[in-house]
């Protein structure tokens, strides 16, 4: 396995019809389990006249009503737990700051599955026993740090459990301990690269990093390009949710043409976020997941609010599992400005088109009167700030034009000096929506 291509070749290259049979078997078992052990799902099934024996094909999954985030919040903390209390071995929670958190309850089975999925993910990205994995995701209730930790243990790699914060110390540890893989949010990877440049550290010459595994927030190909350019590593996207298992639900292969969903453990659907209608493969919509093997807090048809599309043809890497394309935003993060739908990822794309700008930006939306105001703050790169030939008014006009092209509406652009916009060592906070006190 040390130098093989797959962590589990049988699963990763399983013929589609065999995979569907496997999913149907697991789905029948799951639905029966939920009906017998979850008060929440039994009530939901009974309310629409659904019985476990109604599942005869994978298409029958559509007979089950959606599960949404408010279900988890309203039933906090244990209202959706299906396992016996003594069988729960670990809890995790979302990073939300208001109201009840989203709880993930894990049995020993769930922990074993999660570790297996994370090992598969690390291996798919190129991680092997000989590697040193520097984990800069937060440890604790957030699933990122421990998810990578468990997976790296199963792979057999050396682990640096750095967690978040202390950027200069992180760089020193990566340098001194010979880290070959970096795992963190993409925004923190950018911050690390920026700090290295300020400290005079050349990651290509002074570090052994070769792979970056980034997730927990939407990020664009422009951000990937910037990370790879500034650090010299190959950047991989990883996807997961606390509600499902944490990271490990889907992972990019070296082809970088979408993230392979672990379909032996999850069924993925794409729906119209407004109507709930199931969309054909290849059409963009909201991702919906059913966790086929989770026993602590199983979820049926969980609406993620993440916007993407799913492709099912075999990847050129020979893996047959469906691929979800990069998540470019969330339906609940979408801003409606002057009647137009705007995603932060669109602004990110516009900003990344200009080499004179750093990677930081901030969107500020307000409504001081009857109409929305839409402003974007961007930051000059260190190099551009020292260049007397940078004509800020011309640059500002070009940025405004690019934002209008990608969003369809006009924005006020403010260019600030390097370092003026807030940095984060976790998930980036890009939006200030001041309408009605919202923030």
Q: pLDDT tens digits for 191-211?
A: 999 999 999 999 999 999 999
What is the span of the domain harbouring residue 297? 1-330
Segment 258-283 mean pLDDT: 97
| In a shared domain, residues 323 and 433 | no
Quickly list H helices, 200-337. 203-206, 221-231
Task: Give dist(CA 425, CA 413) in Å, integer.
Answer: 25
- Pairing type for strands 302-308 and 340-342 reads unpaired
List own/partner pairs for 35-44 with CB under 8 A and 24 or more apart: 37/82, 37/83, 38/80, 38/81, 38/82, 38/298, 39/79, 40/71, 40/75, 40/79, 40/80, 41/82, 41/300
The DSSP H or E segment spanning 9 is: helix 9-12
The dihedral through the CA atoms of 186, 8, 13, 249 has a sign that is negative
Are 309 and 396 in the same domain? no
Give the strand pairing for 357-366 and 373-380.
antiparallel
Pairing mode, strands 259-261 and 323-324: antiparallel
Kindly state whether residues 66 and 196 are assigned to the same domain: yes
Q: How far apart are the first and last CA of the chain?
A: 48
Q: Name the pLDDT band for 1 (thresholds 50, 70, 90).
A: very low
- Over residues 155-184, the pLDDT tens digits come to 999 999 999 889 999 999 999 999 999 999
d(CA 11, CA 113): 14
Asked whether the predicted pLDDT for residue 13 surpasses 70, the reply is yes
pTM: 0.86
Question: Are residues 290 and 343 located together in one domain of the fold?
Answer: no
Do 69 and 166 lie in one domain? The reply is yes
Helix (H, G, I), strand (E, B) or coil at 154: helix
Binned at pLDDT 50, 70 and 90, residue 333 comes out as confident
Pairwise CA distance, residues 237 & 251, whole Å: 6
Q: Are residues 339 and 254 in the same domain?
A: no
pLDDT at 345: 82
Give the pLDDT of residue 96.
57
Q: Are 109 and 295 in contact (CB under 8 A)?
A: yes
Query: Hey, what are 292's tokens?
Result: 């086929």
* Contact by Cβ (8 Å): 269, 303: no
Instruction: Estimate to the nearest angstrom the gap between the alpha carbon of 175 and the chain centroid.
Output: 27
| Extended strands (E) in 70-208 | 88-93, 103-107, 132-135, 158-160, 181-184
Burial class (CB in 10 A: 0-12, 13-18, 19+), 245: buried
* Same domain for 367 and 224: no
Q: How many helices and strands in the chain, by DSSP H and E?
A: 13, 21
Q: Which residue has the higher pLDDT, 435 or 277?
A: 277
Domain boundary among 284, 311, 330: 330
Please tell me whether the peptide bond between 18 and the residue prior to it is cis, using omega within 30 degrees of 0: no
Where does the pLDDT of residue 335 fall: very low under 50, low under 70, confident under 90, or very high at 90 and above? confident
Do residue 149 and residue 197 come from a single domain?
yes
* 396-423 tens-digit pLDDT: 999 999 999 999 999 999 999 999 998 7
- Structural domain count, the chain: 2
Question: Domain of 284: which CATH number?
Answer: 3.40.50.12780
Identify whether the C-beta of residue 362 lies closer than 8 Å to the C-beta of residue 406.
Answer: no
Instruction: Point out the domain boundary residue: 330, 346, 370.
Output: 330
Dist CA 33 CA 48 (whole Å) = 18
281-299 mean pLDDT:
97
Q: Residue 59: which pLDDT band, with cuts at 50, 70 and 90?
A: very high
Pair 326, 356 in one domain: no
Contact indicator for 144, 137 with CB cutoff of 8 Å: yes
Burial class (CB in 10 A: 0-12, 13-18, 19+), 398: middle
Domain end point (choices 330, 353, 385): 330
> Residue 428 belongs to a domain with what CATH number?
3.30.300.30
Q: What's the whole-number average pLDDT of the chain?
A: 93
* Same-domain pairing of 140 and 212: yes
Give the pLDDT score at 227.
Answer: 95
Q: Residue 108 has which token pair? A: 């020993």
* Per-residue confidence (pLDDT) for residue 336, from 0 to 100: 87
Contact in structure between 414 and 377 (CB atoms under 8 Å)? yes
Least trusted range by pLDDT, from 41-50, 109-118, 346-355: 346-355
Query: According to the model, what pLDDT value does residue 439 have?
Result: 47
On whether both 284 and 359 belong to a single domain, the answer is no
Q: Is 395 helix (H, G, I), strand (E, B) or coil?
A: helix
Over residues 140-146, mean pLDDT: 94
pLDDT in tens, 92-125: 998 655 678 999 999 999 999 999 999 999 999 9
- 242 with 289, same domain? yes
Backbone angles phi, psi at 356, to 5 degrees: -75, -10
**Amino acid 331: pLDDT:** 76
Query: Which residue is it, tokens 């890009």?
Result: 430
Tokens of 213: 């595994």
- The burial of 327, by beta-carbon neighbours within 10 Å (0-12 exposed, 13-18 middle, 19 or more buried), is given as buried
Note the pLDDT of residue 97: 54
> What mean pLDDT comes out for the span 246-274?
97
**Nearest-angstrom CA–CA distance, 210 and 191:** 18
* Residue 438 pLDDT greater than 60, yes or no: no
Residue 95 is predicted with a pLDDT of: 61
């Amino acid at each position: 396995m040390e130098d093989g291509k797959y962590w589990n070749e049988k699963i990763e290259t399983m013929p589609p019809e065999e995979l569907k049979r496997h999913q149907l078997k697991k789905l029948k078992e799951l639905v029966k389990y939920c009906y017998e052990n979850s008060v929440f799902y039994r009530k939901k099934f009974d309310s629409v006249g659904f019985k476990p024996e109604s599942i005869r094909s994978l298409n029958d999954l559509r007979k089950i009503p959606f599960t949404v985030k408010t279900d988890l919040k309203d039933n906090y903390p244990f209202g959706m737990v299906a396992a016996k209390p003594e069988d729960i071995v670990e809890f995790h929670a979302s990073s939300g700051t208001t109201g009840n958190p989203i709880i993930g309850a894990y049995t020993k089975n769930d922990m074993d599955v999660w570790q297996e999925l994370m090992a598969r993910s690390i291996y798919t990205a190129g991680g092997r026993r000989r590697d040193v994995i520097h984990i800069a995701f937060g440890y604790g209730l957030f699933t990122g740090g421990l998810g990578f930790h468990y997976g790296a243990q199963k792979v057999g790699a050396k682990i640096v459990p750095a967690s978040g914060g202390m950027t200069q110390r992180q760089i020193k540890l990566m340098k001194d301990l010979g880290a070959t893989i970096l795992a963190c949010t993409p925004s923190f990877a950018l911050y690390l690269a920026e700090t290295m440049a300020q400290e005079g550290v050349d990651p290509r010459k002074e570090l052994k990093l070769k792979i970056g595994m980034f997730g927990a927030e939407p990020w664009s190909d422009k951000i990937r390009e910037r990370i790879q350019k500034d650090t010299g590593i190959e950047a991989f996207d990883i996807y997961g949710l606390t509600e499902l298992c944490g990271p490990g639900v889907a992972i990019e292969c070296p082809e970088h043409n979408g993230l392979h969903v672990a379909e032996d453990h999850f069924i993925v659907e794409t729906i119209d976020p407004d109507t709930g209608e199931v969309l054909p493969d290849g059409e963009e919509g909201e991702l919906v997941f059913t966790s086929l093997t989770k026993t602590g807090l199983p979820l049926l048809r969980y609406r993620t609010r993440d916007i993407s599309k799913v492709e099912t043809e075999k990847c050129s890497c020979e893996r047959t599992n469906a691929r979800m394309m990069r998540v470019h935003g969330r339906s609940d993060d979408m801003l409606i400005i002057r009647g137009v739908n705007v995603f932060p990822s669109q602004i990110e794309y516009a900003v990344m088109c200009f080499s004179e700008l750093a990677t930081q930006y901030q969107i500020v939306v307000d409504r001081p009167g009857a109409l929305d105001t839409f402003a974007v703050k961007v930051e000059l790169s260190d190099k551009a700030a020292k260049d007397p030939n940078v004509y800020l008014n011309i640059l500002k006009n070009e940025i405004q034009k690019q934002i209008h092209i990608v969003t369809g509406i006009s924005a006020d652009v403010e260019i600030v000096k390097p370092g003026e916009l807030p940095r984060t060592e976790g998930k980036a906070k890009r939006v200030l929506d001041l309408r009605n006190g919202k923030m």
